Structures are given as structure tokens and as C-alpha cells.
């Protein structure tokens, strides 16, 4: 067994033994075969005395203790008999040492062991396999089972993963167990990014589903990145769950996203399912998938926080949505009640190309901006959010990074420069001081700022056909109403 091999050795093995390709920069390009994204039907939790009354079984699938034990026997047997050299990485999740979780990850591929080192916090490489007991053990053997399988036992503190090479299953299964345990202490686990100003003050939370700009907008050269995807909000402040970033790279631009571009070319960064041409990545090519990814340690982002946590509470919460219908204003001010409502709705839209079979924009509602990873009932998380927002007087915003001037296929994507301008004005307090005007078509409150084009703030002004805009707005608001009935 290879125990805690360093990143250089693992990258060399991923290239020499597993078909990976080195970039001139030292990054490694790999592919994941048939499964290029998370398998939504793969995950099941053990239903037992611990989880019977805690896990939301309307949103999560179950497996019996007996079934799990049968699977575990297969995984343990595979670990003993496989001719592959098993890799063990002993890492930690949660950057705040007061709340960290120890994890032992056993995997059959060096590229996945490298991914674990990139995404979590490696421990001292001199530690032996039995030098301390893990809080959770992950057995990651993609070759064992034919179908994607992710099984989680909260009681036994164990995760079994097989049937898929997609690295994100490791990351999201650990996130899922943290989402189970954090509320036990009144802490809020969040699918979000966090940054702070260079004085380590004025923290901001960015909620958002995949493709809304959560990673891009939090990676700001003028601010310090705490983390890009998973965090906890505790009585002490904000902490990153991870030690790395897993950024989407489709159509990655060096001009628009220089920090992510540079980090993706870093030594031992992993480019997952990115097409290579003459030794260089083609980020515009979606031959393998639209869900191309880059995995790298957080410190590859210039100026990223070395501690991964900040003992301050946020001044602003920014909820990002990619509205493909072109209906929503570019920015909306939310009361604490409205913030909780949008948190529970978790609205964005899928567009053609993001998933197989999607040809027209489809509204998506994912509570807490991460329903597949939230094992508890939605209101558990929403109640903690409301309590913390009101206790710390946090300003809350809904920002549309989707379409404007028309729906998908007619209008244009919101200019990233406009979105960055909006974010800057939120963070420096400008928008909070702007006059508020109600938006008659959506009932949202819009801050009016001279520096922001009114056709973005009041999107109906950017449509050629006002009647068509009104029709689309009614459709979207009806979708909101229908989705909200689940929580009223």
C-alpha cells in the first residue's frame, strides 16, 4: 500500500501508469470515461437508529444496514485481493482546526489520490496507516462495481464509492457528511464560496449552483479567497471545508478569469476531461463534456488565505442565479425573510449543452443551493441561516448572472464586467445606500445606481418585444410560486 505519497509522485504515476498527460507547466490532464459528472441516483444513506428521524428521506435514498454490510465486505475483499497498488491518503476536512474532520481515503488510482491531496488538507507524510483513527473512512474503488454507487453510513462513519471515475464523487460525499454533522452544533454548512478584503475584514458569502459564477466571482485579485465551494458558518465566523478548488473550466478565459487560468496550469493541478491539443488545453472544446474541471490547492490562487477561515461574520450574502429566461434584474436587495425564501428555492436555469437532453432553458430549484448534498430537512438549514443573518445584520442580495435583453438564444449573457461591478458595489457598501425601486414584473426590490445600465437593472427595457418579456416574467414567477408551495 502506498501511504501518503506526495503530489509529485502521484502525478508521475497518474501519467506513467494511468494514461494521464503532462502539460508543460506540470499540470496533469486526465479523463474519467463514461461518467463525466456526478451520478445523482448513486448516493444512498444507511437507514438505522441514528438516521431514521434525522435524514430527510423525501430527498435522500436509503439502504439497509444489512445491504451496506454486504457491500462493505465486497470493498474490503477487493482491497485485499486486487493486483493494483492501493493508495491511502490521510487528510483533514474543515480548515478551522477547532472543527476539523479526519478522513482516510483508500483509492486504487494515483490520480484520485492526487485529487484528494489537492482538495483536502494533507497530513504529515511520515504518519503511518494506524497512527491515528479517522473520523471517516472512504473506500474508493471505481473498478469494483459496474454502476455508479455511493453509500454512506453515518453510524459507522464510512463511505463506499465505485462504478465511476469522476473525482467529484469523493468531494461531494465528504461534503454530505459534513452537512449532516455541522447543524448538530448550530453551525450552518453551505454550498458557497467565501472571500474577504485584504485586511481580513468584510467577509462575503457567494451562494450559487453550478454555472452561476460562484467560483469565478469569488476569485478576485482585489480580495482574499477563503474558499470556492464548501464552507461552514459557525459562532466563530466562516471556515472552508476544503483545502482546494474544483473549478469548471469550459470556455475558461485567461483575460476574464486570470486567477483560475493560472491555477489550472499549476504544477500537479488536475485538468479533468479537458481536451488537449499539441500539449495545450483547449478549454473551448466540450467533446468529453461541458463539465470540464480543474482541481488545484487553494494557495494556487494568488493571495488566497493561508488559513482557510476567518473569525468574522459576513457583511454580505450574495445569492447567484443564472436566469436563462432573461427576466430577472441584474441585482435585487433581499430582506432576511426574502433571503430565506431564495435560499430554500435555490433557483437557476439549465441551458442547452449543460446536460444531455436539455434543448431549451429549464428552471431548476435546488434548496440551499445544493439539495443533492443536504441530508437533513431544508428547514433545518434555513432556520440556522435566518438566525445568523438577523443576529449579525447581514445584507442579502440576489444577483443574476444569466441572460439579458432576451431569453437564451435571443439575448446575451450578462457581461461579466457588469456583474463584477455590481459585486464591487455590494462589497464597498454603495448599493446598500442606493435608492430602492420595486420591479413590477417580479416584485423584487432593485437598487438604482447610475453606474449600472438601467436595461440590466430593469431588464424589460432591454427586450425588443415587451409583450414577450411580460409573458416570460409571468411564466417564471408562476414557477417560483409553484416551487415555494413545498415550503409554505
How far is the C-alpha of 278 from the C-alpha of 274, rounded, in Å? 13
Backbone region of residue 213 per phi and psi (left: phi > 0; alpha: psi in -120 to 50; beta: other values): left
How far is the C-alpha of 468 from the C-alpha of 397, rounded, in Å? 27
Q: Residue 293, CB half-sphere, CA atoms under 13 Å: how many?
A: 22
Residue 430: per-residue pLDDT:
95
363, 479 in Cβ contact below 8 A?
yes
How far is the C-alpha of 466 from the C-alpha of 487, rounded, in Å? 32
How far is the C-alpha of 369 from the C-alpha of 372, rounded, in Å? 9
Residue 43: per-residue pLDDT:
96
Residue 133: per-residue pLDDT:
65
How far is the C-alpha of 355 from the C-alpha of 290, rounded, in Å? 8
325, 360 in Cβ contact below 8 A?
no
238, 309 in Cβ contact below 8 A?
yes
**Distance of CA 280 to CAs 23, 36, 276, Å?**
7, 20, 5
| Grid cell of 56 as nine digits | 430527510
Residue 355: per-residue pLDDT:
46
111, 14 in Cβ contact below 8 A?
yes
How far is the C-alpha of 100 from the C-alpha of 103, rounded, in Å? 10
Q: What is the pTM of this model?
A: 0.90
Residue partners of 59: CB distance under 8 A and separation at least 6? 371, 374, 375, 378
Q: Cβ atoms within 10 A of the Cβ of 470, count?
A: 15
Q: Residue 166, CB half-sphere, CA atoms under 13 Å: how many?
A: 23
Residue 78: per-residue pLDDT:
95
Backbone region of residue 85 per phi and psi (left: phi > 0; alpha: psi in -120 to 50; beta: other values): beta
Q: How confident is the chain (488 residues) per 10-residue block, as mean pLDDT?
A: 94 95 96 92 96 96 97 96 92 94 96 97 60 83 96 97 96 96 95 93 92 85 90 96 92 89 96 93 92 94 89 96 95 96 93 50 90 96 97 97 92 93 95 96 96 95 94 95 89
- Please give the positions annotated as active site: 38, 172, 191, 210, 214-215, 229, 293
Amino acid at each position: 500500500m502506498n501511504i501518503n505519497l506526495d503530489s509529485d509522485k502521484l502525478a508521475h504515476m497518474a501519467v506513467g501508469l494511468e494514461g494521464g498527460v503532462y502539460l508543460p507547466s506540470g499540470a496533469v490532464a486526465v479523463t474519467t470515461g463514461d461518467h463525466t459528472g456526478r451520478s445523482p441516483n448513486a448516493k444512498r444513506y444507511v437507514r438505522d437508529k441514528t438516521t431514521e428521524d434525522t435524514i430527510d428521506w423525501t430527498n435522500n435514498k436509503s439502504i439497509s444496514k444489512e445491504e451496506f454490510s454486504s457491500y462493505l465486505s465486497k470493498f474490503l475483499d477487493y482491497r485485499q485481493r486486487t493486483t493494483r497498488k492501493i493508495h491511502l491518503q490521510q487528510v483533514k476536512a474543515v480548515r478551522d482546526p477547532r472543527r476539523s474532520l479526519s478522513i482516510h481515503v483508500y483509492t486504487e488510482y494515483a490520480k484520485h489520490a492526487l485529487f484528494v491531496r489537492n482538495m483536502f488538507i494533507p497530513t504529515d507524510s511520515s504518519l503511518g496507516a494506524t497512527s491515528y483513527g479517522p473520523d471517516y473512512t472512504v473506500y474508493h474503488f471505481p473498478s469494483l462495481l459496474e454502476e455508479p454507487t455511493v453509500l454512506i453510513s453515518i453510524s459507522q462513519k464510512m463511505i463506499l464509492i465505485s462504478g465511476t471515475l469522476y473525482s467529484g464523487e469523493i468531494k461531494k460525499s465528504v461534503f454530505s457528511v459534513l452537512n449532516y454533522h455541522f447543524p448538530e452544533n448550530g453551525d450552518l454548512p453551505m454550498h458557497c464560496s467565501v472571500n474577504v478584503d485584504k485586511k481580513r475584514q468584510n467577509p462575503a458569502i457567494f451562494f450559487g449552483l453550478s454555472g452561476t459564477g460562484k467560483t469565478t466571482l469569488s476569485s478576485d485579485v482585489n480580495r482574499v479567497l477563503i474558499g470556492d465551494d464548501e464552507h461552514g458558518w459557525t459562532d466563530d465566523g466562516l471556515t472552508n471545508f476544503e483545502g482546494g478548488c474544483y473549478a469548471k473550466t469550459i470556455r475558461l478565459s485567461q483575460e476574464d478569469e486570470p486567477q483560475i487560468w493560472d491555477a489550472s496550469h499549476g504544477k500537479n493541478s488536475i485538468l479533468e476531461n479537458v481536451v488537449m491539443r499539441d500539449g495545450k488545453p483547449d478549454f473551448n472544446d466540450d467533446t468529453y463534456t461541458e463539465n470540464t474541471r480543474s482541481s488545484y490547492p487553494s494557495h494556487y490562487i494568488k493571495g488566497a488565505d493561508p488559513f482557510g477561515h476567518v473569525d468574522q461574520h459576513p457583511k454580505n450574502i450574495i445569492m447567484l442565479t443564472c436566469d436563462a429566461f432573461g427576466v430577472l434584474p441584474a441585482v435585487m436587495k433581499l430582506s432576511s425573510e426574502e433571503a430565506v425564501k431564495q435560499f430554500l428555492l435555490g433557483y437557476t436555469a439549465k441551458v442547452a449543452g449543460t446536460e444531455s437532453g436539455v434543448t431549451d432553458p429549464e428552471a431548476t430549484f435546488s434548496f440551499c443551493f445544493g439539495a443533492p448534498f443536504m441530508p437533513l430537512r431544508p428547514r433545518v438549514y434555513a432556520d440556522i441561516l435566518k438566525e445568523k443573518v438577523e443576529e449579525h445584520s447581514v445584507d442579502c442580495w440576489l444577483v443574476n448572472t444569466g441572460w439579458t435583453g432576451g431569453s437564451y438564444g435571443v439575448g446575451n449573457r450578462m457581461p461579466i464586467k457588469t456583474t463584477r461591478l455590481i459585486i464591487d458595489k455590494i462589497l464597498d457598501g454603495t448599493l446598500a445606500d442606493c435608492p430602492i425601486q420595486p420591479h413590477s414584473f417580479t416584485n423584487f426590490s432593485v437598487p438604482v445606481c447610475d453606474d449600472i445600465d438601467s436595461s440590466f437593472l430593469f431588464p424589460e427595457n432591454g427586450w425588443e418585444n415587451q409583450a414577450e418579456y411580460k409573458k416570460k416574467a409571468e411564466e417564471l414567477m408562476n414557477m417560483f410560486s409553484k416551487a415555494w408551495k413545498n415550503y409554505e
